Amino acid sequence: MKTIGRVWLASALLLACIPAPATAEGTGPSPGQPDAAGSQATSGGATGQQPPGRIDAPDGTAPGGTAPGAAGATRESSTETATGTGHLPRPWRVGESCSSGDVGVGEARICVSSVLDPQFGNRYGGGNLGDRKMRTAWVEGVSGNGIGEFVTLAFDRPVPVSRIEIANGYNKSPSIFRKNARVREFTVAASNGFTRRIRLSDKRGWQTLNLPPLGAVTWIMLKVESVYPGIKYTDTAVSEIALQ
């Protein structure tokens, strides 16, 4: 019996020294352990990952846009993604009015920040800026002289612009021209980053803005900074805009 006991004890000690089989290669972590990225696995996907195709942006910003108050955003404007790599997004305002028109370098989307309500059968929308009719005009529609109101000309591709011409005021007649306000100063901005404040002449007919060639742009904005007051109305008008 002692001999048998010794044999059994020796066998037990030998088995205790044999290491257990290794875990098969490729086996995942045990439940509760972190994944390779360091995030805890959860039902429906790993924490911190977005579903394919989803782009999160800061509050108040569309993907590719500019957050309100960020550099490049105007006080009352939001932004719209511009067509063309390397161009800034187009400024726009909630409630703006847009139409199409030929502004000399092709069809443009003409958007204005406000419009005077129709009166005496006349309409004053931004489309009048590209109709080549001096008897029509864009007339802003806010209280006061329209300081801060603007017009943008947008294109579906970059367009080279070397000159901007404007028929300032309401050119329908000399009397109507004097009764309504005219633009004294515009800030001109473009999609390529150009910006300059310029002064216009207080006269009827066409005038060329004192600007260098702008190069290829996807939009141009003209913002009213000051006006020549009308002798009867506070509304500010512009009859035509043409680009070359």
In eight-state DSSP terms, residue 173 is -
Tell me the three state secondary structure of residue 46: coil
Chain segment 90-123, per-residue pLDDT in tens:
999 999 999 998 999 989 999 999 999 999 999 9
Residue 73 resides in a domain: no
Two structure tokens written together for 152: 């943008």
126 pLDDT higher than 50: yes
Q: What percent of the chain has pLDDT over 70?
A: 65
* Single-letter residue type at 74: T
Q: Structural domain tally of the chain?
A: 1
State residue 85's pLDDT score.
59
* Single-letter residue type at 227: V
Residue 7 resides in a domain: no
**Domain holding 96: CATH number?**
2.60.120.260
Tell me the three state secondary structure of residue 228: strand
Chain segment 179-216, per-residue pLDDT in tens:
999 999 999 999 999 999 999 999 999 999 999 999 99
Measured from the Cβ of residue 74, the count of other Cβ atoms closer than 10 Å reads 18
Average pLDDT of every residue of the chain: 76
73 pLDDT higher than 50: no
Contact 151, 242 (CB under 8 A): no
Two structure tokens written together for 39: 């995030």
Q: Are strands 150-161 and 181-190 parallel, antiparallel or unpaired?
A: unpaired
Residue 143 resides in a domain: yes
Chain segment 165-177, per-residue pLDDT in tens:
999 999 999 999 9
Tell me the three state secondary structure of residue 27: coil
Residue 238 resides in a domain: yes
Confidence of residue 15 (pLDDT cuts 50, 70, 90): very low
Which residue range is the domain that position 115 belongs to?
A: 90-243
What is the C-alpha end-to-end distance of the chain, expressed in Å?
Answer: 115
